[in-house]
Structure formats: C-alpha cells, structure tokens
C-alpha cells in the first residue's frame, strides 16, 4: 500500500522518499518500460502487485487456519499456499532481474522481496507435504486461490485504473468551477506536495539572472507565468514533469503559461559542476540535440519523444529522434560546435545561481519551486498568484520542503 501511494504521488510530480539517488531510485523502476507493460497487461501498477499477492496469501492462509480448527480437510489449501509462495518467489526474481537490467534499485521493493521469499520458504518447508505439491494437486489448489484472486483483483482494478501509467499523468480539468473542485478533491498526499511546492516558491531567493536572456519560449510572450525548467534526459522526475505539462497547457491555454526549456545534464563530460563522468554520451548528447533544435518547428515534438522513450535512450535512439527534425549532417555539426557548448554552459551557470541540487529545477516567475504539477497548474490558473483561493485548503508544509 505504501509503494502504491508513493507511486501516485510521484505521478503527480512529488519526489518519492525511496528515490535517494540515480541508482537507489524506486521512481526509475516504477517508470520503466517493463513496469508500463505490467500495468497495461494486468490493470495494476507494478507498485501494487505486492498488495494483490499479499491479500490473496493472507486470505488463503486465514481460510486454511479456520478449516483446520474445525477439523475440515486443508490439503488443497496447503497446496495452494505452496504454489502461491512459489509464484511469489518467481515474480520477485523476475522483477529483480528487470531492476538489475535498468541499473536501478528500489529499496522498498527489496523489503517486499524479503517478505515474499520468507513466505515462500516457510510454506515450502513447514507446511505438510513436499517442497512443492504434486501436479495432481494443482487443480484442487487452484480453487481456494481463485476464490480470493478473482474478487481481490476485481476490487483493485478500480484504483488501478485511476493510477496514471508511466507514460501519462493525471489530467487536469478545464474551466474555473472544475478547477476549484479539482483542488478541493486532492488527496492528503497530493495536498501535502502542493503545500511544499508553494512554501518552496514563497521562500525562494530570486538571484539576478539577467545575464541569461531567453533563447526560446514556448507559449505567449505575454503569459503571466513563465516557467523555466532545467532537465536531464535520463532523470525520471524530468520525464514526469515534461509529459505532465501537456495536460496543463491543454487546460489553461497557450496564453496562461510560457515554457523556457533549459538543460543541466548530470554528466561531468559536458557539465563541469558534476564531478562524475559517466562514459555514456546520452545525457550530454540529449541536451545538445535539444539545444540545436530549440528554434525548429518540431522542437516540442522532439523533446516530448525523448522523454517518452527515456527508458530506451541510447546515442542511436537520440540521433533517430533528432533527425526527424533536421538532417544528420546539420545536426552533427551543431552538436559538435563550440556555440552549442557555450549555450549549455550558460544554462549550467544559470542553474547554479539557484544552487541546483538535482533535476528537474523548476523556476516560476523567477522563484524556485518543486516540480509538482498541481502547483504549476494552480499558478497558471491564478495568473501567478501564490495566494490564490485555489491554495486555500492546504495543510501546513513540512519545515524543510524536500526537492
């Protein structure tokens, strides 16, 4: 349940407490292509699969205890627990392999694996019968499993359908009345994230960044809210932010908010402020391709596709995406040019003026805030007023809002 709630918060733009760094990062696991396929096939997010498994395990175990206490046969139920435990172990191995492949570790998932493996071993070693039931018992074992699996799955499909998939974010409504109702109906976690973003905005210093005039802005030049975002193409939270802005722009229209994309690749190869060099060109190349296409009519399309395909990005994939808007020769020359590196260095200095600690860095009208979609939406609706009535029912933010 905790993992599922964290996932919902992440899809709303908040940072998961289990996302510690690039490697120990549950968000990267939950937003992977593998996780997306699981959600699409089962109707449940990968972060909720443990809840389904554990409720069925608990139900069958409880029924077995009750039947045993009343002197009824429990052979089929013990066989069911052994099979369900074995299935849980196989699932853990599958999920762990997928996590290893994407070079990311989900700490809370490790806790789930430990509990599941423990259950499987106890069922196999301590319950009567062999390590696994005979195949002749599998048919009988399936009955108590299905008794719980079918209704539990059916019940969880509803919250599963409300959980945004890794390739989408919860849409925001159009119209003032619908917007007011939307903010009132936010759950406790969403309201807390919104309160933290507002507090970060109000507490943010506004350094002098006049040395970094806009190169490109998407939206009306007269928009009352200007959002500057610094992204890295492999940053999971950047993906949520970039893809989540689509629903905001559709809801508020092009005159309410203007977007100014900037870049802060987390690789020392092209960003001197990052000590570690990855040896992989993806982060630097992704930033430079976007820089080279900033004034191209297909820039927004290219940027979106880069983040949509984040989980499969490589140098070849980036060139494939970029050359949909410009020729390979033209794009290669621009990527290698000193002018492009100079633009990137300007973005890095700009971000450092706000003491950037990680990506995405979001600046609204000169104030740093957290990348929380609901706060950005509210600011666009209120024409940049952080004291709007839309924010009137928020809880007290944490003393130190986290990035």
Q: Where are the domains of the chain?
A: 2-162, 176-391
The per-residue pLDDT for 341 is 96
Bridge partners of residue 227, in order along the sequence: 259, 364
Q: Any idea which of 36-40, 141-145, 237-241 has the lowest mean pLDDT? A: 36-40
The per-residue pLDDT for 294 is 96
pLDDT averaged over every residue in the chain = 89
Give the C-alpha separation, 93 to 101, whole Å. 12
69 CB-near residues (< 8 Å, 6+ apart): none
Q: Any idea which of 29-33, 259-263, 386-390 has the lowest mean pLDDT? A: 29-33
pLDDT per residue over 164-223, tens digit each? 766 555 667 777 678 888 888 888 878 888 999 999 999 999 999 999 999 999 999 999
Identify the burial level of 217 via C-beta atoms within 10 angstroms of its C-beta, where 0-12 means exposed, 13-18 middle and 19 or more buried.
middle
Pairing between β-strand 257-263 and β-strand 367-369 as defined by DSSP bridges: unpaired
Give the C-alpha separation, 221 to 287, whole Å. 24
DSSP tally for the chain: helices H, then strands E: 16, 4
Give the C-alpha separation, 235 to 403, whole Å. 13
The percentage of residues in the chain with a pLDDT greater than 90, rounded to a whole number, is: 61
Q: Which of 84, 13, 1 is nearest to 229 (CA)?
A: 13
Q: What is the mean pLDDT of residues 36-45?
A: 86
Quickly state the pLDDT bin for 403 (edges 50, 70, 90): very low
Q: What is the mean pLDDT of residues 314-333?
A: 97
Q: What is the mean pLDDT of residues 153-165?
A: 86
The per-residue pLDDT for 402 is 44
The per-residue pLDDT for 276 is 84
pLDDT at residue 398 greater than cutoff 70:
no
| Residue 146: φ, ψ to 5° | -65, -30
Q: Which of 281, 284, 324 is nearest to 301 (CA)?
A: 324
Bridge partners of residue 258, in order along the sequence: 226
Quickly state the pLDDT bin for 14 (edges 50, 70, 90): low
Q: Any idea which of 106-115, 318-327, 343-352 has the lowest mean pLDDT? A: 106-115
Q: 293 and 326 in contact (C-beta within 8 Å)? A: yes
- Residue 253, Ramachandran bin (φ over 0: left; ψ between -120 and 50: alpha; else beta): left
Q: Is the dihedral of CA 312, 318, 319, 324 positive or negative?
A: positive
Quickly state the pLDDT bin for 401 (edges 50, 70, 90): very low
Specify the higher pLDDT residue, 168 or 71: 71
Give the C-alpha separation, 297 to 299, whole Å. 6
Q: Which of 74, 234, 237, 204 is nearest to 141 (CA)?
A: 74
Q: Which fold has domain 176-391?
A: Glutaredoxin (3.40.30)
Q: What is the mean pLDDT of residues 315-325?
A: 97
pLDDT per residue over 245-289, tens digit each? 988 998 898 899 999 999 999 999 999 999 888 888 999 999 999
- 112-120 contacts: CB < 8 A, separation 24 or more? 112/3, 112/50, 115/54, 116/50, 116/53, 116/85, 116/88, 116/89, 116/91, 116/92, 117/88, 117/89, 117/92, 119/57, 119/85, 119/88, 120/85, 120/86, 120/88, 120/89
Give the C-alpha separation, 8 to 11, whole Å. 5
Give the C-alpha separation, 400 to 199, whole Å. 9
Give the C-alpha separation, 30 to 104, whole Å. 10
Quickly state the pLDDT bin for 399 (edges 50, 70, 90): low
Quickly state the pLDDT bin for 400 (edges 50, 70, 90): low
């Amino acid at each position: 349940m905790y993992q599922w709630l964290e996932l919902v918060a992440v899809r709303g733009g908040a940072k998961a407490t289990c996302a510690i760094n690039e490697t120990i990062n549950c968000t990267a696991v939950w937003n992977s292509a593998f996780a997306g396929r699981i959600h699409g096939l089962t109707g449940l997010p990968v972060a909720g699969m443990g809840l389904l498994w554990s409720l069925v395990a608990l139900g069958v175990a409880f029924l077995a205890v009750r039947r045993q206490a009343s002197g009824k046969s429990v052979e089929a139920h013990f066989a069911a627990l052994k099979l369900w435990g074995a299935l849980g172990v196989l699932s853990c191995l599958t999920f762990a392999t997928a996590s290893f492949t994407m070079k990311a570790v989900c700490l809370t998932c490790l806790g789930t694996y430990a509990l599941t493996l423990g259950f499987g071993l106890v069922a196999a070693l301590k319950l009567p019968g062999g390590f696994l039931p005979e195949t002749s018992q599998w048919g009988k074992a399936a009955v108590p499993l299905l008794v719980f699996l079918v209704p539990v799955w059916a019940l969880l499909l509803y919250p599963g359908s409300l959980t945004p998939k890794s390739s989408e974010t919860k849409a925001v409504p159009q119209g003032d009345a619908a917007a007011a109702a939307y903010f009132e109906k936010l759950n406790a976690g969403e309201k807390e994230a919104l309160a933290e973003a507002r507090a970060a905005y109000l507490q943010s210093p506004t350094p002098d960044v006049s040395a970094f005039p806009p190169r490109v802005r998407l939206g009306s030049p007269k928009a009352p809210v200007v959002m500057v975002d610094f992204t890295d193409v492999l940053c999971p939270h950047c993906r949520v932010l970039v893809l989540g802005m689509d629903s905001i722009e559709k809801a508020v229209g092009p005159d309410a908010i203007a977007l100014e994309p900037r870049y802060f690749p987390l690789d020392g190869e092209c960003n001197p402020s990052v000590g570690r060099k990855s040896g992989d060109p993806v982060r630097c190349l992704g930033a430079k391709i976007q820089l080279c296409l900033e004034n191209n009519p297909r820039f927004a399309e290219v940027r979106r596709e880069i983040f949509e395909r984040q989980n499969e990005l490589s140098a070849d994939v980036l060139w494939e995406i970029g050359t949909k808007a410009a020729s390979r020769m033209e794009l290669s020359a621009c990527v290698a040019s000193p002018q492009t590196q100079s633009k990137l260095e300007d973005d890095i200095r700009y971000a450092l003026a706000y003491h950037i600690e990680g990506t995405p860095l979001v600046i609204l009208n000169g104030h740093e805030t957290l990348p929380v979609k609901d706060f950005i939406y509210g600011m666009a609706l209120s024409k940049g007023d952080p004291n709007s009535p839309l924010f009137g029912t928020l809880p007290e933010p944490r003393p130190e809002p986290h990035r």
